[in-house]
Chain A
Amino acid sequence: MRWWLLVIVTVMAFAKYDAKLTIEKKVDERARVAIVDGSIPSDTSKKIAAIFAADLKISGHFRPDEAYRVGTYAGSMIDPALRGNDYVLVYDFSQAEGKNTLMVKLLNAANAHQILERRYRVKSSAKYPFLVHKAVSEINTYLKYLPIDWLNRYVVFARYTGRKQSEIVLADYTFHFTKTIVRGGLNLFPHWGDPDQKTLYYTAYVKGIPTLYRLNIYTAERTRITHSTGMLACSDVSADGSRLLLTMAPDGQSDIYEYDIAAAKAKRLTTFSGIDVNGVYADGGKSLVFVSNRLGYPNIFKRDFATGVVTQIVFAGKNNNSVDAYDDTVVYSSREGQGVFNLYTAHTDGSPGRALTSNGVNQFPRFSPGGDTVLYIKRSYEGNAVGYLGLKTNQSLLFPLGERKIQSLDW
């Protein structure tokens, strides 16, 4: 009987050894980058160094040296101490004549050969983080890595400012840039209305009645879409922008509706007498996934548009109360007792995925437009943070958000 024990333990020993080798190899594949501030040093130029490091790290393709270093932008001399890297990224940030300019050079660390040089400009000084995001996404593309264009996108979120008061805010993904675009009263559930992020839908309480609006963030044009007693939320927009998935409660009963914008008509999709919310298009628009307590506790279900058949797709956890979908993959938040919420992936065919977090209060999971990164909010008594998890790169980052409570967000 002892021989099988010897075999198992031996396999375990070697398996662990092979896993360690695999992990180290993946870490070593990332290009090492040193970041040098060639600006006249300022608070902003220092922050830019940190943003460069975050962008490079979350891309999953680079291993930035996070030490803050100063140098000169002109010329191509490289500090010998940096020659152990693959690349040296030198930048110069300046503000003059109403413009904010970021110059960026990428050098080969071994021979100081200039690989590329770019200049980026923006009028608004508050938007300087986007100059960095643009630079890193272009460097990434130039080196022929998989695109990380989501770095350039806005995050939109609602946060509470008082009792029955909340505002809607735009931010870059690091939350170094924030701008309030809707304030006054209760404004909830912002959701982007188009892939280019020109419009968004949100709910405002008008004399106590939840009302859905579409807002153009560039022209400030606001269009009233519909209203519903009880509650109203836009939880998703179809790929062509013509239909919305709404949670509405015209008779005080919350259900999921599909709203045809052109026809101004809503079609009810769920009829359960309990709670059905958070509908999201999945499987290329052939189905929707949603949260329902039809089995006695919040869980994740799928409804096929063609047949109307509803199936359970998550079979673990007893309180899965928030979901997002990218094609046939879902990410959901599961309450696991003692105030712990963890994030998991699963698939629309009912097969399980994997755990993305292991402790804390992790909520509001949202896929990036390409489905390879998950944004989420991590809450604690010390303050909130926005987190990013690279599903393919396994890279993760957290950025502080402060104490105000996030009500809802979209990416």
Chain B
Amino acid sequence: MSLFRSAALAALITVGMTTGCTQQRAPIPEGGQVAQSSNTVGSGVVSGGVDSTGKYTGSDGVSRSGFKMLYFGYNRYRLDNGQVQRLMSDLPRIRQAAQGSNLRIEGNCDEFGTDEFNYALGLKRAKAVKSLLVSNGIPASKIAVVSYGESNPTCRANGAACHAKNRRVEINTVR
């Protein structure tokens, strides 16, 4: 093999290594990308977008018991200020419900991530919400937390906003 062809081939190999392999279609965006679309795809209306942390920015999610769903960024389990305000706006009704029933706080995740870590992430999200409720006067003994991981999606379509809708906590009453 000539020296020229060896050097050219080496250069080609180097270029190939730095550009990486062909990417499959990206199912979710990385942090920093913002999806602004309002669309209905598959099951579930997606009326909001996604912020730079991957958190759903819509305000349409409501649990079975009628309390606002709370949303989290990708791989995150702290409530940001907006979500804290969203929870506080429901606090009077939650307090009233807790007088007659127990509460179950259910943590959920998107479909990415792998088995145990996803369920633990969902649990951390539920625990963050419980902490805030306990800090605001609801007895800890009235609140149970559980993680459903990725088993309970509200949106099954492909797209960043749909995946973000599933990264959430739901507050429900139980007897």
Contact = CB atoms under 8 A, between A and B. Distances in A.
B172 to A, nearest CB: 10
A380 B149 CA distance: 20
Interface stretch (A88-96, A113-121, A174-182, A249-257): A249-257
Contacts of A231: 119-120, 122-123, 146-147, 149
A312 interface: no
**What does DSSP make chain A's interface, helix, strand, loop or mixed?**
mixed
B135 interface: no
B165 to A, nearest CB: 14
B117 A322 contact: yes
Contacts of B25: 381
**Most chain A beta-carbon contacts within 10 A, residue among B1, B9, B113, B120:** B120
A249 B123 contact: yes
A303 to B, nearest CB: 16
Interface in B79-127: 104, 111-117, 119-124, 126-127
Interface stretch (A24-32, A46-54, A79-87, A332-340): A332-340
B52 to A, nearest CB: 15
B120 A277 contact: yes
Contact of B148 (A9, A164, A364): A164
A9 B23 contact: no
**Most chain B beta-carbon contacts within 10 A, residue among A163, A229, A277, A364:** A277
A254 B148 CA distance: 14
A229 B144 contact: yes
Interface stretch (B26-34, B55-63, B65-73): B26-34
A380 B158 CA distance: 11
Nearest to B145: A252
A210 interface: yes
A230 B152 contact: no
B12 interface: no
A189 interface: yes
Contacts of B114: 321-322, 333, 363-364
Interface string A149-183: 00000000000100111100000000000000000
Contacts of B127: 230, 252-253
Given A229-B145, A230-B145, A235 B116 contact: yes
A356 B144 CA distance: 41
Given A252-B127, A339-B27, A359-B21, A322 B6 contact: no
A6 interface: yes
Contacts of B150: 160, 405, 407
Nearest to B25: A381
Contacts of B75: 297-298, 319
A161 B27 CA distance: 21
B24 A340 contact: yes
A363 B120 CA distance: 17
A247 B116 contact: yes
23 contacts: A9-B3, A9-B6, A16-B9, A165-B151, A188-B115, A208-B146, A229-B145, A230-B127, A231-B119, A247-B120, A252-B126, A254-B119, A275-B121, A297-B75, A322-B114, A333-B114, A359-B21, A361-B24, A363-B114, A381-B25, A405-B150, A407-B149, A407-B151
Interface of B: 1, 3, 6-7, 9-10, 21-28, 30, 75, 104, 111-117, 119-124, 126-127, 130, 144-153, 158, 174
A-B complex: 6 closest residue pairs judged by Cβ atoms? A322-B114, A277-B116, A254-B120, A339-B27, A408-B115, A338-B26
